[in-house]
Amino acid sequence: MLNVIICDDDVKMVNDIRTMIENAMLIKGIQDINIELATTNPEEVLTLFRIKKYDADGTERVVSQPLKQRLLFLDINYGSDFARLDGIRLGSEIREYDIRCDIVFVTSNSNEKSDVINEKITALGYVQKRFTDEKLKEKIIDLLETAHKRMYMTTIDRKMIEFKTGHSKKYANLADIYYIKGNEIKNDDEQSRLGLTILCEANGVHYLKRKLKFYDENISELVRLGRSYLINPLNVKETRAAGKKRILKLTNGEEISVQRETFLAYEALVDEMRKKGEL
């Protein structure tokens, strides 16, 4: 679950961002996003990350709250009511308790980005308050989708898959895999002749000994695309129509063309994974 926190001293901005996120969830059918807090008070945000505890002798200690997957939209300037905390200070204190959460800074002054960098607060992005409503919506939805994808990636980025390549073994990070496909054309090199399937991942192309069916049965995160492909849907950047065919463009720039019926079957499998919370 991706928990979203919105904090801005402008109530309208808080409500606008919240509405944009809720509408995006409905339109795109995203169910694993929760708006955890929408507030004008930055102190309320800090309470989600830290809690006061007392030792037996009465000594007060501040400790971290249990961590969650979070995306924060933080205003940089909160006005005189919260002189102790501006957005940069708030982001800095949050980083003391959670270095993984995604932070988006909402600002009316692009020069303030340098202050964020100087404080070494890694930001997912920035939103300009001067954007038109449509531009603001587009930017927020883009950042929401990026954080949502990163949330899932963090759950698989340590999952290593073992592949047999000839007489040796190959280990690939699941998040780096683009696809596995049947090796229909055998080249003259020995590796290709031995390979029943082809693994395409961030570090290159590898010829594998096992059939595509084996990987289909053992790697649930990859989705069948017709008879020849297992696709990692996280690395599908976009899809588009091309006559009677459909094109899948991957994050590595490669494009795969399939018949419309094949694409619809693939899309149904991806939708089923989303409903189960697997994607």
Mean pLDDT of 205-216: 87
Report the C-alpha gap between 88 and 63 in whole angstroms: 21
Which ranges in the chain are annotated with CATH 2.40.50.1020?
A: 160-275
What is each CA distance from 100 to 31, 119, 170, 186, in whole angstroms? 22, 16, 29, 45
Mean pLDDT of 148-169: 67
Which ranges in the chain are annotated with CATH 3.40.50.2300?
A: 2-156
Give the residues across from 103 on adjacent strands.
72
What is the pLDDT confidence band of residue 16, given thresholds at 50, 70 and 90? very high
Report whether pLDDT(35) > 90.
Answer: yes
What is the pLDDT confidence band of residue 195, given thresholds at 50, 70 and 90? low
Q: Read off the pTM.
A: 0.55
Mean pLDDT of 153-163: 61
Q: Which of 155-169, 211-225, 252-266 has the lowest mean pLDDT?
A: 155-169
Mean pLDDT of 96-112: 80
Which of the four CATH numbers 3.40.640.10, 2.40.420.20, 3.40.50.620, 2.40.50.1020 does domain 160-275 have? 2.40.50.1020
Report the C-alpha gap between 90 and 78 in whole angstroms: 10
Query: What pLDDT was estimated at residue 113?
Result: 57
What is the pLDDT confidence band of residue 167, given thresholds at 50, 70 and 90? low
Task: Say whether 196 sits in a helix, a strand or coil.
Answer: coil
What six digits make up the tokens of 38? 């929408």
Q: Are the C-beta atoms of 78 and 85 separated by less than 8 Å?
A: yes
The hierarchical CATH code for the domain 2-156 is 3.40.50.2300
Report the C-alpha gap between 148 and 274 in whole angstroms: 12
Query: What pLDDT was estimated at residue 81?
Result: 61
Mean pLDDT of 186-208: 72
Number of H helices, E strands in the chain: 8, 17
Mean pLDDT of 61-75: 83
**Could you write out the DSSP letters of every residue in 41-108?**
-HHHHHHTTEEEEE-TT--EEEEEPPP-EEEEEEES---GGGTT--HHHHHHHHHHH-SSSEEEEEES
Report the C-alpha gap between 116 and 111 in whole angstroms: 10
Q: Which residue from 198, 215, 235 is spatially nearest to 162, judged by alpha carbons?
A: 215
Query: What pLDDT was estimated at residue 247?
Result: 95
Crossing angle for the helix pair 133-156 and 11-28, nearest 10 degrees? 60
Burial of 243 (0-12, 13-18, 19+ CB in 10 A): exposed
